[in-house]
Structure 1
Amino acid sequence: MANLTLAIDDQLLQRARERALREKTSVNALIRSYLSQYVDSRSRRLVALNAFEAIASETNSASQAPWSRASLHERR
């Protein structure tokens, strides 16, 4: 496991340590958890975007013209 050095305001770190202690965890565990969630959320967004693009590429749109706000709200 790699080590990481951070520059954090002393008061912020103290408050984080106190809260972590109340929650029976550590600042290290909190940061590890945050980074895991950060990476996982980006991965989930990329998977969802790729799935959307795959579905969109398979559709046959009747219109090749780009939409405009006016054309979308046009009454026929």
Structure 2
Amino acid sequence: MKNLTLRIEEPKLNRARKIAAERSTSVNALIRDYLDDLIAREDRQVQARVELLELCQTSKARVGNKNWSRGDLYDR
């Protein structure tokens, strides 16, 4: 595991310390958990894009001819 040095304004650090204490953890653990969640979300988004692209490429669905105009949509 690598160390990381952060520069953060004192009021923000004090607030983070208070939150960490309320959760019986450390600021370090809060940041580590946040980064884990961030990476997991990003990985899910990337996987979803890959799956969507695969679905688009393998889909047999076809779009029919456009037989309406934009104006028709408002003439209901």
RMSD: 2.5
Match of 1:24 in 2: 24
Letter in 2 for 1:51: E
TM-fit CA distance, 1:19: 1.4
Q: What per-residue deviation string (whole Å, max 9, x for no partner) do you get for residues 22-50 of structure 1?
A: 11000000000000000110000111111
**Percent identity between the aligned chains?**
32
* Gap regions ≥5 residues in structure 2: none
Letter in 2 for 1:54: E
| TM-score, with length taken from structure 1 | 0.79
Corresponding position: 1:47 with 2:51? no
| TM-score, with length taken from structure 2 | 0.79
TM-fit CA distance, 1:70: 2.6
Q: How many residues align?
A: 71
Rounded Cα–Cα distance in structure 2 between residues aligned with 1:21 and 1:34: 16
Match of 1:8 in 2: 8
* Gap regions ≥5 residues in structure 1: none
